[in-house]
Amino acid sequence: MTPAAVRPDLTAPFGPLTLRNPVVAVSGTFAYGDEYDGLVPLAALGAIITKTVTVLPRAGNPPPRLAETPCGLLNSIGLTNVGYREFLRKKLPALLDCGTQVIVNVAGKDAAEFGLLAREVGAAAGVAAIELNLSCPNVSGGMDCATDPDATEEAVRRAAGATRVPIIAKLSPNVTDIVSIARAAERGGASGISLINTLVGMSVDVATRRSKLGTNTGGLSGPAIRPVAVAQTWKVVRAVTIPVLGTGGIATARDALEFLIVGASAVGVGTATFRDPGAMPAIASGIEAHLVAEGLARLTDIVGSYVEAPVVTHTAPGEKETT
């Protein structure tokens, strides 16, 4: 008799954290988590990252705030939130009973605000980590930190110095050199990197000649950005020693496996939950099924298993080409 297959270990080490599986609900699309109560078994997720909270409440951008595109979704929410005080008083207590780890996403207008938010949120019991939203593309000044290594390093340093809770830096793809920004975050004391945030995009209503959003541009998410996200994850994993949460266009287990193979320690799922609230548990199950099919005992056996293509150096005629 063939022995029953042993279920692989889906535990995902992420710096100081240990996630029960690598599938994380990313900031924004999952709100404060309670909106999905009854639709998604929250305890089946590796972690939940809350929607961004700021120092003061924000009403957000004018509607319309969402516009579908081929293979993607544009959003211009504008960090609508209740402010950190109301979040800590009313939202966080209920979320801590969800059965999985809670990571709180925060956004400050400058390094000092990131430090304040890290101190206040980090003092709340039950917060597993703090994610710094350095990279929102649809608010005024929202990418200042994420496009400058010095600003990134200072914001992370102020936050990390204000709390003992692990700090995760969420980075923007809208830069010329993602590696320099990631290294700056690591120098600043980040325990992990989260990437990518949305790409800047625009969609115009031809009949009205106006933007399909209430603002001119928004953040593009969904399957269309996945190849960009995988490439930037691969680049950053090779350049830093801290773990990376890879996210961007993940809708299936095979999508998630691409990120894990190139070295992401965990994966974030966002826009896919709009189409299918059950996408995240299904992705976790699909990853497990793949490990079983491959005969792998644990998730970490596949993380970073990417086989790199040889680098070809093209030379002048008559010279020997090297690989």
Q: What residues are annotated to the active site?
A: 136
Closest by CA to 276, choosing from 252, 304, 247, is 252
Alpha carbon distance 256, 23 (integer Å): 8
Spatial neighbors of 36 by CB under 8 A, at least 6 apart, are 30, 42, 273, 277
Alpha carbon distance 323, 314 (integer Å): 9
Spatial neighbors of 95 by CB under 8 A, at least 6 apart, are 32, 33, 34, 48, 50, 102
Looking only at Cα atoms, what is the longest distance across the chain?
Answer: 72
Strand, helix or coil for residue 152: helix
